[in-house]
Amino acid sequence: MQQLHLHLLSDSTGETLDMVAKACLAQFDGVEALRHLWPMVRSEGHLDRVLDDVETRPGLVLYTVVNPTIRRELERKCRQRKINAVSVLDPVIDALAAVSGEAAKGRAGRQHALDAAYFARVDAIQFTIAHDDGIGSENWEEADIVLAGVSRTSKTPTSIYLANRGYKVANIPLVPSSPPPPNLFQLKHPLVVGLTANPERLIAIRRNRLLSLNQAPETDYVDMEAVNAELAFARRMFADQGWPVIDVTRRSIEETAVAIIRLCTERLEASRA
């Protein structure tokens, strides 16, 4: 496997760079990337020290530097030292400027400003944690999204992911022997989404869960007939209520969350029509 030193240089936190790098590296199975993160590079002296290190471990420099002075020095010194360097945000910023007719602000870390959206996201995370696994049903009307599904259909991790995107989320496990609170069927504000999965996949996940807890691996929790009955119970509920359903069997948490966000967007657009 080919090894590559990937230097991520930013005059902010470097979080954006790291996400872009991971997304791009996922496309290359034969490359082992050694990532080196260089955040908060905001002086020429700091820049020189970073480039000295880059020369000892040559590879590719990816950068997001919006300060024009530091950026000019970075580009000049990389050319001088024959270091390959790529600005990852330039194509997007240039396209946005062309379409909007407005010049970019050129302020490092602007996306991390402590604005109303930031505090709304914190509020969403707190709400979601407080309404996990069926807790706090009296407050579900305050949620943006309510996820319902049988055990191990990724309700909690999907809820947390959505909360980090600013959505207040509650989730409830569906158990045939324990009907959900009646107010689940009376919600107006939240989008209620049903999560389901292939029974074989569900059993495999549940069995691993039992093993991790050192519990007996042979119970109704992993019995095919019992699991099919749970899924049928959930499917009937979803159909009776007209809730959208997402099969999480072959989806990552991120893919499930994106599908739910799309449903929220479509619902909002329909309400405005």
Query: In the CATH hierarchy, which fold is given to the domain comprising 116-272?
Result: Rossmann fold (3.40.50)
Taking the C-alpha atoms of 142, 148, 152 and 154 in order, what is their torsion angle to the nearest 10 degrees? -60
Using CA atoms, how far apart are residues 120 and 104, in angstroms rounded to an integer?
25
Q: What is the pTM of this model?
A: 0.66
Q: What is the pLDDT of residues 29-62, one digit of tens each?
A: 888 999 999 999 999 999 999 999 999 999 999 9
pLDDT value of residue 272 = 79
Cα-only R_g, the chain: 24
CATH number of this structure's domain 2-112 = 3.40.50
Instruction: Dump pLDDT digits (tens) for 108-163.
Output: 555 555 456 677 888 999 999 999 999 999 999 999 999 999 999 999 999 999 99
pLDDT bracket for residue 1 (50, 70, 90): confident
* Separation of alpha carbons 21 and 111, rounded Å: 18
Q: What is the pLDDT of residues 92-107, one digit of tens each?
A: 877 888 888 887 766 5
pLDDT at residue 216 tops 80? no
| Domain extents in the chain | 2-112, 116-272
Assign 221 a pLDDT band (cuts: 50, 70, 90).
Answer: very high
Task: Dump pLDDT digits (tens) for 250-273.
Answer: 999 999 999 999 999 999 888 876
Helix (H) or strand (E) holding 24, with range, is: helix 15-25
Residues near 227 by Cβ (< 8 Å), separated by ≥ 6? 150, 199, 202, 203, 206
Per-residue pLDDT at 23 exceeds 90: no
Note whether 2-112 and 116-272 share their fold: yes
What is residue 213's predicted lDDT score, i.e. its pLDDT? 86
Q: In what order do the strands lie in the sheet with 2-10?
A: 31-38, 2-10, 60-64, 84-87
